[in-house]
Amino acid sequence: MDYINAFWVGGLICALAQILLEKTKMMPGRIMVLLVVSGAILGFLGIYEPFQEFAGAGASVPLLGFGNVLMKGVREAVDENGFIGLFMGGFKSGAVGTSAALIFGYLASLVFSSKMRK
């Protein structure tokens, strides 16, 4: 049942993002920011944890999950370091995901030969 919940919740999140992309004049970057900010707000309100328990990877893999990870990192850093934690927490908690994206993107560019579009 975990796989089914992850599949339909993740699919619903992606479908809603696709609907926003096609039915509004929002650019993809703005939709991505909207998803990250929504995940951070849901994490701040304490709604995201039960949602993630239910949906598993369907909730943690999309950009909503990244926003939640950033919010958790900021919350922990503020508890440890006070006000300066607002600026440290997001970098610390998001470093692994961002580094992995950069490393795997670089490795993919070495494996596949890309060509410039004209």
Tens place of pLDDT for every residue, the chain, 118 residues?
Answer: 788 988 999 899 989 999 999 999 889 889 999 988 998 898 889 898 888 889 888 887 778 888 888 888 888 888 888 888 888 887 787 788 788 888 998 999 888 877 767 6
pLDDT of residue 20: 92
Fill in the DSSP letter of residue 56: T
**CA neighbours within 13 Å on the CB side: how many for 70?**
20
pLDDT of residue 118: 67
DSSP-derived secondary structure for 58-91? HHHSSHHHHHHHHHHHHHHHHHHHGGGHHHHHHH
What is the SS3 assignment for 110? helix
pTM, two decimal places: 0.74
pLDDT in tens, 72-101: 888 888 888 888 888 888 778 778 878 888
Q: What is the SS3 string spanning 18-50?
A: HHHHHHCCCCHHHHHHHHHHHHHHHHHCCCHHH
